[in-house]
Structure 1
Amino acid sequence: MYPPERHTVILATARAAGRVEVQQLAAELDVTPETVRRDLTALERMGLVRRVHGGAVPVERLGYEPALTQREHELGAEKDRIAKAALDELPEGGSVILDAGSTTARLAEMLPADRELTVVTHALPVATALAALPLITLHLVGGTVRPRTMAAVGSWAERALADVRVDVAFLGTNGVSVDAGLSTPDLAEATVKRALVAAAARTVVLADHTKVGRTELAVVAPLGRVDAVVTDSGVAPELADEIESAGPRVVRA
């Protein structure tokens, strides 16, 4: 396959998946990783992708936050595995925070119906999933609801969370990197996520492999504030090792 043909395949894959990884492309295209890196450099010079650690993302995804309804249908199997693995991080009783996001919503749907838990959330889909469970004491944080994520944000939410202390916060994120820590595209949502971290004795991040190595506009917290990152088996081993070296335990579901 000639370079222009590879470039077409790589760009199409990046746009479909939101990210491409060097090792996976090398195997699929039957070329060396060095060849793939040269291809990605060429595509970056054309302004079509941006290089990130271990791969690249298409430029149209930079700063773009897909709606929750769209994200619900992306990487469904991986998100189910992540949510199932995150169940091991639940306290035996006690209290948890469930952040907004498609993976945390899956976790809410998997919470054991026979265990007493106090759940705090600012996410409408999470509240809807839990409202009818008799052993769940549900506290819904109010605020201005962002249609893109169906999460309450703003000063009302921040004030409510300032009075909360829970055992574990299960956090969603758009980016996880050693340099920036946790990040998300929206400044208001980042502020609320910081309040979630501050309210919890432990923080567990749920993030599929496309989020690992990415940095978004608004920084939430450094990795030193995170106890565990639960991701899927598609994460590049070197990225997982880098995250783990910065502090959090990495669980690959």
Structure 2
Amino acid sequence: MAASSSNDRLDDAYDDAVDDALDDALDDAFDEKFEAMFNSFVKQNEEKMKKKKRAYIEREREKGHLRLWNDYFSDDATYPPHIFRRRFRMTKDLFMRIVTRLADEVPYFQQRRNATGRLGLSPLQKCTAAIRMMAYGTAADAVDEYLRLGATTALLCLEHFTEGIISLFGDEYLRRPTADDLQRLLNIGEQRGFPGMIGSIDCMHWEWKNCPTAWRGQYTRGSGKPTIVLKAVASQDLWICTRFLDLQVH
């Protein structure tokens, strides 16, 4: 009887030792696995943070302004007025009038110094970026190499430029024509052999990216993509120009 009791105690001690060893092994395995997963998670987050961090590029914006000035605005500019007219879609006098008004009355186009005393982008650089993007329909970063400004800044230039033009020149150039204006246009049309014509009309198809699915068939032509028609009526000198969208079924 005593021997049997002693054997039971040994079995219990053995079982306890096995259970303790198993628990320790499981704890060690869990800790190891958890630490590996935690380190992997931290590493992934660090990599994402590094990817999101914007790298600063020293574009030397002063050189961009100097080259632009020497090419088009200095007394002995590289390119003559007719090339300026073709590339900027307006005369130099008109462009400078716009730049001067924007620089005087729109804070965004006023050249300032930063905390280190370095001048920011000039009004010429900002306005040229906006004009080039509109004139050529280029991407925002297409003007980076010549004007030395990034895509985000170029888009801001375009946004503030259009808002400034509407604010400063809207009452004069974006108003509805008066009776005298229409009569002048009729006289010009008659002189050019088109009596009774106020302006000429043109149109283009513009892809409707967010066209509702239920409407796609009504606005799809041979290209297979839904489009809307942008129409414009303009005088011979673009003094009067109205635009409207045609949403009729093609």
TM-score by length of 2: 0.23
Between structures 1 and 2, the one with greater strand share: 1
TM-score by length of 1: 0.23
Larger Rg: 2
Between structures 1 and 2, the one with greater helix share: 2
